[in-house]
Structure formats: C-alpha cells, structure tokens
Amino acid sequence: MSMDLSKQVAAITGGLGDIGRAIALNLAHHGADIALCDIRPASDSQVVLDEIHALGRRAIYHKVDVTDAVQVAEWVDAIGLELGLPSLIIPNAAVVTLAPSSVMTPAQWSRDIRVNLDGAFYFAQACASRLLAAGRKRRIVFIGSWAAHALHVQGPAYCASKAAIRMLCKVMALELAPAGILVNEVAPGYVDGGLTGKIWSENPASRVQARADVPTQQLISAEEVAFQVACLCDPNNRHMTGTTVLMDGGLSLTNVSINRRGEK
C-alpha cells in the first residue's frame, strides 16, 4: 500500500507490545514520526526506537500509566513539544484477566476497565481536544476486539471494556466528524501475538485448536493488524468514520464455542 504520512505524528499507547510495535513500524515506513508510551522502563524501548530511526523517522518513548489522565495529558503535551501535535492517534494499550465473573475480584475488574476503557478515553480525549483547538483534520483508530460482540465467559471485563470502546468510537466519530477528525476501530479476532499470544505460549494446544476454529484456518499476525490501522490512517481514506473493521477470519460467522479455552 502506497501512502504519504511524512507530515504526520503517530502516537501509540501500549507501544512496546507486539501490536503496538507493528503499528509503529508500519506507520513509520509510510513516513510518520512516532511517539510511543507503555508502562515498561525506557531501556526496553531502545530496540523499536532504533528500528524506527533506521527508517529515517523521528521516534520518542515515554513511560506512561494510561489510567492516569494527568500523565496521559502531560505525555500528549510532551509529544507536541518534541515531535509536533499528534495527528494519528492509536489507543492500543490493553490487559486481560482470565477469570469468570463469579470469581473475578473487584481489583481485577477495575484494572481491566481502567486500562482498556478509561486509558483509551483519556488518550483519545486529550488528543481530540488539542486537534479541535488547532483546527486539524486527523485520525483516531481504536484497537478493539471481536470480543466486543462475541461472548467470552473467561474475560467479562475485557469483553465489557471492548464493547464500550466500540460505542465510544461511534460517539466520538459523530461528535468529531464536522471537524474532519475521523474515528474508527480495528477489531481483530485471534492474533498470534499480544495478549492472546501470551495465553497460547502457556498452553500451546490451545493455539492449534484456535487455528482450527477459524474458518479461514489462519491466525492473525500483529503486522496484519497494523496494515488495517494504516489503511484507516491513509489520507485518501476520507469517508470512513464510526466504522468497525472486523478482521476475525470469519469467527463471528460460526457457532464455535469460545468459552471452553478461556481465550480472547
């Protein structure tokens, strides 16, 4: 896919995970400068920063807790000073607790909701308010999940948070459309990496079964998620807003049980 993002600044939360890193490299390949945040120490960011610099793009990393609205706002302002106002906003940070609602603790529930939903809102809101003030027409792409509409007994907070992200995407899309800020969601199914990859590494047999369940008989790579994000960031893609790009290999078309293995 050929596009020019050379005048764009992409900001990605959860930037040191598999999906965040893949998105960063894809957008940098198309010319964007990159701002990453995560909760890991700065030393962990050097490899991906070096990869981005090798593509000829500027890149910075900050340690940020996305559940803290003040930290998020300060990070967005720091990006503005170091790279310029973020124009491609990717709320990606997420966690999952594998436990049914009957045993999930209040702390586990709160953590999943605060990272997945509150963190995404704080980031999207902080960027959108600054874009509105500057009169910029830019893009917000939430990283959602097919779990927003497909029941997962072992991940009630994750499902609830991703369902809320989908509605937040639509509400913000309608609000921001007159200002030329397009808001969309990419909703993957089984990604062979990220949170699901960690689960499969602990239970390799579940990876084999998951692949067999997917109608296309293929798992999704982090790079394929990044490709869909880039499509929504393409300046020539001027009319999609409030849309969910569902990429689950047909899982949503089946009656396969997704509750027997506790996967997302």
Does some domain include residue 255? no
Q: Provide mean pLDDT across the span 252-264.
A: 58
- Determine the pLDDT at residue 194: 77
Average pLDDT value for the chain:
94
Does some domain include residue 186? yes
Q: Which residue has the higher pLDDT, 255 or 33?
A: 33
Per-residue pLDDT tens over the stretch 195-215: 787 778 888 888 898 899 999
Which one-letter DSSP state was computed for residue 206? H
Q: Provide mean pLDDT across the span 224-249.
A: 97
Per-residue pLDDT tens over the stretch 159-186: 999 999 999 999 999 999 999 999 999 9
- Determine the pLDDT at residue 253: 92
Per-residue pLDDT tens over the stretch 18-60: 999 999 999 999 999 999 999 999 999 999 999 999 999 999 9
Q: CB-based contacts of 212: which residues, under 8 Å, 6+ apart? A: none
How many separate domains does the chain show? 1
Does some domain include residue 58? yes
Does some domain include residue 264? no
- Determine the pLDDT at residue 252: 92
β-pair partners for 11: 35, 89
- Determine the pLDDT at residue 200: 83
State how far the Cα of 208 lies from the Cα of 127, in Å rounded to an integer: 40
Q: What is the CATH number of the domain that holds 26?
A: 3.40.50.720
Q: CB-based contacts of 167: which residues, under 8 Å, 6+ apart? A: none
Per-residue pLDDT tens over the stretch 90-131: 999 999 999 999 999 999 999 999 999 999 999 999 999 999
For the cut 50, the answer to whether the pLDDT of residue 261 exceeds it is no
- pTM for the whole structure: 0.95
Does some domain include residue 235? yes
State how far the Cα of 119 lies from the Cα of 92, in Å rounded to an integer: 9
User: Residue 229 — φ and ψ, nearest 5°?
Assistant: -60, -45
Does some domain include residue 3? no
| Range with the poorest average pLDDT among 65-69, 77-81, 174-178, 204-208 | 204-208
- Determine the pLDDT at residue 201: 81
SS3 of 100-123: the string is CCCCCCHHHHHHHHHHHHHHHHHH
- Determine the pLDDT at residue 206: 84
- Determine the pLDDT at residue 54: 98
State which residues form the domain around 166.
9-250
- Determine the pLDDT at residue 79: 98
Q: State which amino acid sits at residue 83.
A: L
Does some domain include residue 259? no
- Determine the pLDDT at residue 1: 57
